[in-house]
Amino acid sequence: MTRVGMAKARAIEDIDPTPLHPIMRAVGLEKDYLLPDRTIIRVLNDISFDVAEGEFIVLTGQSGCGKTTLLRILMGLMPASQGDLLVRGERVKGCDHRRAMVFQAAELLPWRTAVGNVELGLETQGVPKAERRATAERLLDLVGLEQAHHKRPDQMSGGMRQRVGLARALAVDPDILLMDEPFGALDAHTREALQAELLRLHEEMRKTIIFVTHDLDEAVLLADRVFVLSPVGTLADVIEVPIPRPRGEPEELRTKKAFVDTRYKIWRSMKSMEGMTRPRVTADEGDAP
Ligand SMILES: Nc1ncnc2c1ncn2[C@@H]1O[C@H](COP(=O)(O)OP(=O)(O)OP(=O)(O)O)[C@@H](O)[C@H]1O
Ligand SMILES: [Mg+2]
């Protein structure tokens, strides 16, 4: 019998508590979806990794390979079907303030100003109004929106909305920032400005970041390590980016051998997996997710 949801042999207790004390540890994560035609697809397949404190991880892979699914599990928005996820050694049971997410479209509340949107996460934490306001204003300044504190989303450009989304995520002072193609919908110029902004924030705040992108230039520019997911949802490759920080001018960086070589490595990894397809199992043969 094919058991899609079969328990993995490896449990977190079997793993040596590493001397590196990773901020995040995934062990054998799997995710199965039950489709309306009663077939099950395994979207994520035995994914294990460690992320060190302050590391910048870029997650890439072809469309539909499971990047958003993995990010949502890392955020605690939904559980994995199998496997363990730990943050600072504690098992993740749902969302909490240690992780914040930035989405492709910032998804701001349209009736609230920039300040009001950034205050949102702090309201749910019961932070007093004056303190909330001060934090929101400081973070909006930090992301370059000094002039836009009182604008509503319909009065902002796409780049401004993404900056508000980033400030909102930073407001709860998370240890880990999860970003799902946050610059994907922006024009090239705004995108470059926000990449530079994010690199600067990462230098200053040393937050751990897990960032999804399809863009290989963006991956090499931002990442310490690039995780490549295969079309069958395995973590196929982990590629180090051997470029020191601060990274400097993107245009100059793109001409450097280390940049070109790393970009080519990622491209080759993805190319080698083209055409792989996920097996489907009928629900009666396996476990429902
Ligand atoms: N709730 C769901 N139910 C069933 N299948 C789903 C569900 N969510 C996602 N999928 C499927 O899981 C696979 C992975 O989806 P996911 O959105 O994680 O991919 P992705 O790598 O983020 O893709 P993209 O690059 O296009 O954003 C896809 O085949 C998708 O159709
Ligand atoms: Mg996605």
String of DSSP letters for the chain: ---TTPPPS--GGGS---TT--SEEEEEEEEEEE-TTSEEEEEEEEEEEEE-TT-EEEEE-STTSSHHHHHHHHHTSS--SEEEEEETTEEP-S--TTEEEE-SS----TTS-HHHHHHHHHHHTT--HHHHHHHHHHHHHHTT-GGGTT--GGGS-HHHHHHHHHHHHHHT--SEEEEESTTTTS-HHHHHHHHHHHHHHHHHH--EEEEE-S-HHHHHHH-SEEEEE-TTS-EEEEEE----SS---HHHHTTSHHHHHHHHHHHHHHHTTTT----EEETTTS---
Going by C-alpha positions, the residue among 149, 72, 58, 63 that lies closest to residue 112 is 149
How far away, in angstroms, is 269 Cα from ligand 1 center? 21
- pLDDT reported for residue 20: 57
- pLDDT reported for residue 285: 56
Each residue's pLDDT tens digit, 63-81: 999 999 999 999 999 999 9
* Nearest atom of ligand 1 to the alpha carbon of 35: 4
Each residue's pLDDT tens digit, 209-250: 999 999 999 999 999 999 999 999 999 999 999 999 999 888
- Walking along the chain (289 residues) 10 residues at a time, the average pLDDT comes out as 40 47 93 91 95 96 95 96 94 92 89 96 91 95 92 94 92 94 87 90 92 96 97 96 91 94 97 88 59
Q: Where does residue 258 fall: left (phi above 0), alpha (psi -120 to 50 degrees), or beta otherwise?
A: alpha
- pLDDT reported for residue 55: 95
Pocket of ligand 1 (CB under 6 A): 33, 35, 43, 61, 63-69
130: how many CB neighbours lie within 10 A of its CB?
Answer: 8
Residue minimizing CA distance to atom 26 of ligand 1:
63
- pLDDT reported for residue 9: 44
- Mutation choice for ligand 1 from 43, 104, 276, 278, CB with most ligand atoms inside 8 A: 43
Residue minimizing CA distance to atom 25 of ligand 1:
63
- pLDDT reported for residue 284: 65
How far away, in angstroms, is 17 Cα from ligand 2 center? 31
| Rounded-to-integer distance, Cα 162 and Cα 281, Å | 39
- Mutation choice for ligand 1 from 65, 72, 277, CB with most ligand atoms inside 8 A: 65
- pLDDT reported for residue 106: 78
- pLDDT reported for residue 97: 87
- How is residue 271 written in tokens? 């190319």
Going by C-alpha positions, the residue among 175, 177, 198, 174 that lies closest to residue 186 is 198
Residue owning tokens 């958003």: 68
Residue minimizing CA distance to atom 24 of ligand 1:
63
- Our CA angle for 84, 203, 94, nearest 5°, is 25
| Rounded-to-integer distance, Cα 242 and Cα 49, Å | 19
| Rounded-to-integer distance, Cα 129 and Cα 68, Å | 34
Going by C-alpha positions, the residue among 40, 65, 66, 82 that lies closest to residue 280 is 40
- pLDDT reported for residue 83: 96
* Nearest atom of ligand 1 to the alpha carbon of 214: 25
Q: Are 199 and 222 in contact (CB under 8 A)?
A: yes
How far away, in angstroms, is 41 Cα from ligand 2 center? 16
How far away, in angstroms, is 113 Cα from ligand 1 center? 32
Report the DSSP pairing between strands 225-229 and 235-240.
Answer: antiparallel
How far away, in angstroms, is 150 Cα from ligand 2 center? 31
